Homo-oligomer: A and B are copies of this chain.
Amino acid sequence: MTPLEAREHFRTEARPTAGFARGYAQANLMILPREDAFDFLLFAQRNPKPCPLLGVLEPGQVSSDLLQGSDIRDCVPRYRVFENGSLVDEPVQVFDYWRDDLVTFMIGCSFTFEDALLENGVPVAHIENDCNVPMFRTNVATEPAGQFSGPLVVSMRPIPAGQVADAVRITSRYPAVHGAPVHVGDPSAIGISDLMSPDYGDAVPIPDGTIPVFWACGVTPQAVVAASKPSFAITHAPGHMLVTDARDLEYQVP
């Protein structure tokens, strides 16, 4: 499936996008009014691990070279609409919510380095289980910017103990899509009480001999919206990403 085919496909099937259009970068979405856009862009600049920006559209712009032939309002499997920090809708397209002052931020997603993990023989549990990656709110604060602040959200992958070093080494080469893990091991150290009850996505088994490894997650902005309560925001639904035309390899550093 090409990225364009994937975006067309996900106009009508509302399911998580992990494993689709392998080799192409997927992106988290944050769409905000122009008046809030500087603060959010500053938030992203100050929090590059959870919010690495792959692209930002001008106010009102609905397509770009990252999604050629598609419209940002109808190319993600499912969206979330927030008013004053509260989730008010989870539609499959957002034409009715669109305004000409909306600025779209596309944020890197750890799905990009999953291909590299798999190619290097490091298992990725939620792909093996064909479900959404488990994500957790932590007690680690992000760096505030203007009106925006809130907790860091992380994704979790159980990694065999002998391959943790490989997972660190491989993902370090992708700083534009969350990069190296932010935490290895004890979930309670970052405020996670139960790995079987993720705040977003699906639980995955944690076999004996594996260690939970945590990466900064592009769902962080959604927790920040809930905490900071901007008047209006549109995001993707967690795990239901924008499949972009950019190749994963473009985000690899030497």
Residues of B within 8 A of A38 (CB): 34, 37-38, 41
Is the interface on chain A under 10, 10 to 19, 20 to 34, or 35 or more residues? 10 to 19
Known: A56-B46, A58-B146, A146-B58. A253 touches B41 (CB 8 A): no
Instruction: Kindly list chain B residues whose C-beta atoms are within 8 Å of the C-beta of A37.
Output: 38
Would you list which residues of chain A between 28 and 44 have a CB under 8 Å from chain B? Answer: 34, 37-38, 41-42
Please measure, in the bound complex, the distance between the C-alpha atom of A253 and the C-alpha atom of B41, giving whole angstroms.
Answer: 23
List B contacts of A45 (CB < 8 A).
41, 45, 53, 56
B-contact 0/1 string along A154-197, CB 8 Å cutoff = 00000000000000010011010000000000000000000000
| Bound CA span A160–B146, Å | 47
Closest to A54 in B: B45
CB of A209 within 8 A of chain B?
Answer: no
Query: Max chain B CB contacts within 10 Å: which of A46, A145, A254?
Result: A254
Alpha-carbon gap, A116 to B253, bound state (A): 18
Does B42 lie within 8 Å of A254, measured CB to CB?
no
| Most-contacted residue by chain B among A37, A42, A175 (CB, 10 A) | A42
Contact of A254 among B53, B146, B173 (CB under 8 A): B173
Known A45-B45, A46-B56; further 15 A-B contacts with Cβ < 8 A: A34-B38, A38-B41, A41-B41, A41-B42, A41-B45, A42-B56, A42-B58, A45-B53, A45-B56, A58-B145, A58-B146, A169-B254, A172-B254, A175-B253, A253-B253
Mind listing 21 A-B residue pairs with CB under 8 Å? A34-B38, A37-B38, A38-B38, A38-B41, A41-B41, A41-B42, A41-B45, A42-B56, A42-B58, A45-B45, A45-B53, A45-B56, A46-B56, A58-B145, A58-B146, A169-B254, A172-B253, A172-B254, A173-B254, A175-B253, A253-B253
